[in-house]
Amino acid sequence: MSNGHEPKKNAVYAAPAPATNFIRNIVDADLAGNKFAARMWAGKPGLSSDHAKGQHDQAKIRTRFPPEPNGYLHIGHAKSICLNFGLARDYGGRCHLRFDDTNPAKEEQEFVDAILDSVHWLGFDYEKNGESNLYFASDYFDWMYEFAESLIEKGYAYVDSLSAEEMREYRGTLTEKGKDSPFRNRSVAENLALFREMRDSKHADGANVLRARIDMQSPNINLRDPAMYRIKRAHHHRTGDKWCIYPLYSYAHPIEDALEQITHSICTLEFEDQRPYYDWLLEHIRDAGFLADPLPRQYEFSRLNLTYIVLSKRYLNQLVSEKYVDGWDDPRLPTIAGARRRGYTPEGIRLMMERSGVSKADSWIDYGLLEDCMREHLNDVAPRRTAVLDPLKLIITNYPEGQSEACFAPNHPQKPELGKREVPFSGELWIEREDFQETPQKGFFRLYPPMGDQPGNKVRLRYGFVIQCTGCEKDAAGNITKVTAEYFSDSKSGTPGSDTYKVKGNIHWVCAKGAYAAQVRLYDRLFTTPYPGRESGNYLTDLNPDSKRTITAYLERSLKDAKPEERFQFERHGYFVADRVDSLPGAPKFNRAVTLKDSWTAK
Ligand code: ATP
Ligand code: MG
């Protein structure tokens, strides 16, 4: 845990929201230099000839968020979404939502739907001023194919018949140059014929590959004749069985950007070494007359890493498919769907993305920053309610039997305009087990019984009366089953003279009669270590066995009517949400989003 990878909680959190970042500086400079002023836009993706027939592009810049529909979006994707959609919003641009669905086997409609849902939930839209920018890369397959033929004709691409293993050998290593394939000098006619045969299903999967002819000696491995097309007989979720050759990501992605007239193609740092190929490809396709300047430019920033969680689709997939969690929307997962079910808010996530900044420096962000952002927003918007999570019966022996009365609790202490709500009070209440100690520890100011000539302790039942403890009852095993107390009838909160009672403890309670016994899920971090797997070698061994606890809690009655996704602060406990998936009408289940304070201690 050294070498600059520590969580930067304090440093990051203390910093004001960054007004700018290096990408914004680039956009500022581009706009100041009128770099995009002459751009045309056909109203949809296309060749330069299509765009030339369109209008001047109203969008000052175009960015894109290009998820591959092979999993659910996670908090790392939210970084990219906030960055790309945020730039478009702030600079009078457009952000395209493009499904990068060029790899047939792994992609599914379920993921497409979930991704659309998550982007909307985060507060972003690909529709603006009547222009919809929702695209599928697979819609560009014909263009990609056409460009490939044109590159072959110009001698910039060839069909290689080496096996995958031979190709690896010929590629060389970081320290060793590559060498030319014996098929590298096939004639244009032969390459064209072979490529068409590949398309027409005349060759077996893997038998041939179309490669760019660049430089097998290049110090940059990505320029050693990268593969452009491979043969793969697989059903595609949109193009069906039309194609049996599919473009590789590094070939497809720049073309997608160019057809969509993307100005700033922002990706994570691991693509930095791909940039020369990105430029090589687009320049050659431009020179062939399909594209026009200014071509899209790629910019890299460091990906978001969060402690105590994994942010890789491969791992998330394993956690879901091997049932370590209860599905993609399990509230413990860092998926957007999971965060939503957990009770996190889009505002809190956006705040976190703003606070964690955009840079080229690799860093880890403490999970606590995300939680702090959530607390900050939820504190502002969540109405207060009372809930007893670990219930113990309290009997007020001098309260008239069968009677009850109304107490009034503010809905939000900092927002009196939200008013108060009525909570019933009677002689039988639920309190938290930890608010009573038979033999009080030093400094314990809540309920404890009389001892010798020392009287039982007094506390205020929040928004209710002051009571004095008189004793407790136990079962045969010695467990405390009931606490008894007497109340002071002239101490009711809000009534004249009630504040003459000075007590150190103030505890919450729920009237036993009519209390709503609800299922409440208490979530904790999914992993016990900040960098899962780093020391143990296997991230699965660092799973927190106590990351989910299900309890039955007693909630104030009004919570029975909570609607799915309504969020509350349960006083003294944290922020909770009525579960959006398995709540029944009139019987919501609650998930804890986050505690009131950072209570995490690594085990
Ligand atoms: P994973 O590594 O989890 O499989 P991915 O990058 O393969 O993610 P894509 O669907 O290709 O997933 O990602 C869509 C966009 O989201 C890409 O532009 C990618 O750079 C960005 N992105 C993914 N993970 C992060 C992250 N942790 N931080 C910032 N951006 C991310
Ligand atoms: Mg990817």
Report the relative pairing of strands 209-212 and 227-231 from DSSP bridges.
antiparallel
* Domain 141-248 and domain 516-594 have a common topology: no
Give, in degrees to the nearest 5, the angle at Cα 516 between 515 and 520: 130
CA of 23 to the centre of ligand 2 (A): 21
CATH number of 141-248: 3.40.640.10, 3.90.800.10, 3.30.450.90, 3.10.20.600? Answer: 3.90.800.10
Q: What is the pLDDT of residues 18-28, one digit of tens each?
A: 458 999 999 99
Task: List the residue whose alpha carbon is closest to atom 15 of ligand 1.
Answer: 67
60 neighbors 91 (Cβ within 8 angstroms) = yes
Q: What is the DSSP string of 357-398?
A: ---SS--EE-HHHHHHHHHHHHHHHPPEE-EESSEEEEEETT
pLDDT digits (tens, 9 = 90+) for 171-209: 999 999 999 999 999 999 999 999 999 999 999 999 999
Q: Is 70 in the pocket of ligand 1 (CB under 6 A)?
A: no
Per the CB < 8 A criterion, the answer to whether 61 and 31 are in contact is yes
Which residue, judged by its Cα, is nearest atom 13 of ligand 1?
A: 67
Q: 313 CB under 6 A from ligand 1?
A: yes
Alpha carbon dihedral 188, 190, 195, 199, in 10-degree steps, equals 140
Instruction: Report domain extents, the chain.
Output: 22-140+251-369, 141-248, 389-511, 516-594
Tell me the CATH number for domain 389-511.
2.40.240.10
CB atoms within 5 A of ion ligand 2 belong to: 68
Q: What is the pTM of this model?
A: 0.92
Fold of 22-140+251-369: Rossmann fold (3.40.50)
Give the ligand at the shortest distance from the Cα of 256: 1
How do residues 285-303 score in pLDDT, each as one tens digit? 999 999 999 999 999 999 9
Q: What pLDDT is recorded for position 109?
A: 86
Testing ligand 1's pocket by substitution, the residue of 63, 68, 80, 272 carrying the most ligand atoms inside 8 A of its CB is 80
- Peptide bond connecting 294 to the previous residue in cis, omega within 30 degrees of 0: yes
Can you name the CATH fold of 516-594?
A: Ribosomal Protein L25; Chain P (2.40.240)
| Residue with CA closest to ligand 1 atom 3 | 312
Average pLDDT over residues 515-537: 96
Q: Residue 104: is its pLDDT beyond 50?
A: yes
Find how far residue 553's CA is from the centre of its chain.
29
pLDDT confidence tier of residue 467, bands split at 50, 70 and 90: very high
Mean pLDDT of 81-103: 96
Residue nearest to atom 4 of ligand 1 (CA): 313
| Residues designated as active site | 68, 303, 313
What confidence tier does 363 reach under pLDDT thresholds 50, 70, 90?
confident
pLDDT band at 130 (very low <50, low <70, confident <90, very high): confident
Which residue has 């591959």 as its token pair?
Answer: 68
**If you measure from the C-alpha of residue 312 to the centroid of ligand 1, how many angstroms do you get, rounded to a whole number?**
8
pLDDT in the model for residue 1:
33
Q: Is the CB of 64 under 6 A from ligand 1?
A: no
> Can you tell me which atom of ligand 1 is nearest the CA of 304?
28
Determine the residue of 77, 306, 335 to mutate for testing ligand 1's pocket, defined as the one with the most ligand atoms within 8 A of the Cβ atom. Answer: 77
Closest of 386, 391, 553 to residue 463, by C-alpha: 386
